[in-house]
Structure 1
Amino acid sequence: MATVSGLEGVVAGETEIGLVDGEKGYLVYRGYWAKELAISRSYEEVAYLLWNGHLPSSEELEMLKLEMAAARAMPEYLCRIVDLLPASVPMMLVLQSTVAALGEQGNATWPPTLRQAVRLTALLPSIIAYRYRRLKGLPIVEPLPELGHAANYLYMLNGQIPEEAHVQALSAYLILCMEHGMNASTFAGRVVLSTESDMCAAVCGAIGAMKGPLHGGAPSEVISMLADIGTKERAEPWIREVLDKGGKIMGFGHRIYKTKDPRAEALKIATEEMIGKDPSFDVAIHVEHTAIRLLEEYKPGRRLFTNVEFYAAAILQALELDPEIFTPTFTSGRIVGWTSHILEQAANNRIFRPQSIYTGPMPEGEF
């Protein structure tokens, strides 16, 4: 029996939720181009689509917004758990611990429910913001019912009503984080759920996978590059020096997408209103244009375009988010995809039980 390292290319199941085609540059959410959803729909609308298979009517959307608003406030016992965790516990483990605690009796059910998915999605940004402000010694900011999901996240973090351009950029980013096929964390969640465990346990498994730097690593290398370049004037000499030494320009090219990354294309459109208003963002855009031109000069025909990590770094830096919450922020977007896959797995469940090939020694003598 042949083995495939990392199960790369092995089909582990069927899904109606999302399609990733790197050769063609496709990212599809239930029959819609993800890049179009990111620039034309709200976070709540796309979440509804992934959970239910169709975009919501105005009444359905209003019901979802009301349900998420009601679920956004953290229960007292959850606050106490976060307060008791040492400051040295990283944010991803805080999320894992609190999600596990949400699996109390009544929520740890089989099969999992859409209501559980909505509750987890609404709560994750509240948990991140609560923990972040506690560690900074800042007063806790309660969510506002009149603000949407992305706006509330920024409000709870910073204590100020965010600018519309920032809300639009973050919303587009979170939408494009929602779903990306059978990635490591989504697969981990489906494997846990396939044992007829509960949704919270499955999401804890997914968070554990996302915590690993090979999967959920924040765009820190892009942030470092932009910080090192600093100004528009330094962009070309800095990039030429790296390319002359055979180095890599972070945020360009992608392991999966062999053409333009559709997520980067969408974020470019979604952030147009930020151009000219944020100096750090303007530098990032200038670096992008300069790098694409020089990459074509140094590596003609390679077609190395901007990937989603570059724009994620530019957006998160412009929003002045602390690097320690980059991966948790990504997680607060991906929770919709995880819970959609968990619900899909439950609807036609079979436990995952792959085989392995034993390569260790055998006992001496006959059996």
Structure 2
Amino acid sequence: MTAPAAKTAATLDVPPGLAGVRVAATTIGDVRGDEGFYHFGPYSAVELARSRGFEDVRYLMFNGRLPNGSESPAAPAQLPAQLQQLLPAIGRAGRKAHPLAALRTALSLLAQLDDAAPLWDSDPAQRMAAAQRVCAVTPVILAALHRFRTGVGNGAGTDVGSDVGNDVGSDVANERGATIEPGPGATARYWLAQVSTASDPTDPRLVGAIDAYLASTADHGFNASTFTARTVASSGADLYSAVCAAIGTFSGPLHGGAPDRALDSLDEIGDPARTADWVREKVAAGDRIMGFGHPVYRTEDPRAAMLRDIAQELAAAGFDPELAERAVAVERQVLATLRELKPDRPLGTNVEFYAGVVMEQCGIPRELFTPTFAVSRVVGWSAHILEQASDRKIIRPSAAYVGAAPPQPVPALTQPPLK
């Protein structure tokens, strides 16, 4: 019998997780974590979110400039009849299937129905058309899947096969009988009209809150899902495949799947007076405190600061003021306790904590918190995919082998005795 071989010594040339390693050049935006600042193009992302909104951010990412008063993002969302027919089955499949799993399935089918061409074989206009299409259909598909799965309206209320013209939802009637018009805030109005449980989902304060949230989260540097999308795009694959790969990454609780878990923590804590003890118990057990800490920011996440302001504005207008007040009190105690327990590790509030609070105030069901995030982030993924497609070199890093030292003799196959 061959003795176990010694492992090959190997060192990594980069830090774990590629933290801080620059792997590409981009004009889309950047995150300056030490400063607590991030931007889209040359503009502060938070300022864009509060003053211009999601539609203009999408236009900026796809065109490299903000639209003028007469321009708006063109995003037809015609869904093929074959997809319409299969959406109910996709939406109801599985007992605990996550909405993002259903979205992946629907987009994969749409890619086949659209005869999606590889990025390698497409010209810039074809790539842009694919990106616009995916961004436009994502909220339409997710809203329909939610209703099919929950039985709300029995999937009725969204003509998923209609041509929505220049923006998401322009000719789509919601289940309350209203019609969503194109223009600023169109995606937020459409999404709230389709999924919100608020008594009046058309309230401009709710629309403004979700519009700012969508705009602020459209992109955020080379996070796991964006890097995944660019890696797939670098192979020359079609845009739909790259987006589906990003969605798969996004479903993980360490990335996109945290807003609902952060709000679950608020529910678990209950009385803010319990916060310090709750944090100590979690830290002692080695559990992660969802909604706090970020791999890039060493100060407060600017998205969290913006969403805290929005949560308090909604509270002042009467939208679940108890939740917002409790969130602020719990946040204060969590940060104080983390500073006490981990004095050498800066752990600030991140976007997920107040994202969950704002979405709850707006009546978005908790299971749709991460899908709402996806409605926004698909824009950033698509912009990065388009940018990557202009580089004809595949992303192909190396790994440090640390297994048994080769070459070893291949053992002969031992035949079982004949009976």
TM-score surpassing 0.5?
yes
C-alpha RMSD of the superposition: 2.6
Q: SS of 2:194's equivalent?
A: helix
Q: Does 1:102 align with 2:110?
A: yes
TM-superposed CA distance for 1:244, in Å, is: 6.1
Gaps of 5+ in 2: 1-9, 159-171, 173-178, 411-419
Q: Does 1:316 align with 2:359?
A: yes
Structure-1 separation of matches of 2:40 and 2:251: 24
Q: SS of 1:213's equivalent?
A: coil
> Which residue pairs with 1:269 in the alignment?
309
TM-superposed CA distance for 1:345, in Å, is: 0.6
Structure-2 separation of matches of 1:226 and 1:356: 40
> Which residue pairs with 1:154 in the alignment?
192
Counting only pairs closer than 5 Å after superposition, residues 279-358 of structure 1 correspond to structure 2 as 280-289=320-329, 291-292=331-332, 295-296=335-336, 299=339, 305-358=348-401
- Pick closer, same or farther for the CA change 1:344–1:241 going to 2, 3 Å: same
* Number of matched pairs: 356
> Which residue pairs with 2:19 in the alignment?
8
List per-residue Cα deviations over 1:17-62 (Å, max 9, x = no partner).
111111111111101111111111121101001111110112222x
Q: Does 1:363 align with 2:407?
A: yes
Q: Which amino acid is 1:333 matched to?
A: S
> Which residue pairs with 1:37 in the alignment?
48
TM-superposed CA distance for 1:229, in Å, is: 4.5
TM-superposed CA distance for 1:269, in Å, is: 3.5
Q: SS of 1:59's equivalent?
A: coil
Q: Does 1:122 align with 2:136?
A: yes
Q: Which amino acid is 1:205 matched to?
A: A
Structure-1 separation of matches of 2:306 and 2:149: 34
- Pick closer, same or farther for the CA change 1:224–1:11 going to 2, 3 Å: same
- Pick closer, same or farther for the CA change 1:282–1:357 going to 2, 3 Å: same
TM-superposed CA distance for 1:271, in Å, is: 4.1
Does the aligned pair in 2 maintain the 1:179–1:336 contact within 8 Å? yes
Gaps of 5+ in 1: none
Q: Select between 42-51 and 8-17 the one with higher mean Cα deviation.
A: 8-17
Structure-2 separation of matches of 1:303 and 1:196: 40
Indicate the structure with greater helix content.
1
Does the aligned pair in 2 maintain the 1:91–1:328 contact within 8 Å? yes
- Pick closer, same or farther for the CA change 1:358–1:229 going to 2, 3 Å: closer
Q: SS of 1:342's equivalent?
A: helix
Q: SS of 2:220's equivalent?
A: coil
List per-residue Cα deviations over 1:133-179 (Å, max 9, x = no partner).
11122322222341511110111224864211111111111112211
> Which residue pairs with 2:223 in the alignment?
183
- Pick closer, same or farther for the CA change 1:20–1:163 going to 2, 3 Å: same
List per-residue Cα deviations over 1:238-284 (Å, max 9, x = no partner).
22433565758653443321112111122233445312344634433
**TM-score, reference length from structure 2:** 0.77
Structure-2 separation of matches of 1:294 and 1:100: 41
- Pick closer, same or farther for the CA change 1:105–1:279 going to 2, 3 Å: closer
**Match 1:87 to one of 75, 86, 93:** 93
> Which residue pairs with 1:21 in the alignment?
32
Identity of aligned residues (%): 35
**TM-score, reference length from structure 1:** 0.87
Structure-1 separation of matches of 2:366 and 2:323: 19
List per-residue Cα deviations over 1:275-314 (Å, max 9, x = no partner).
2344634433343146426744883788754321111010
Does the aligned pair in 2 maintain the 1:38–1:266 contact within 8 Å? no
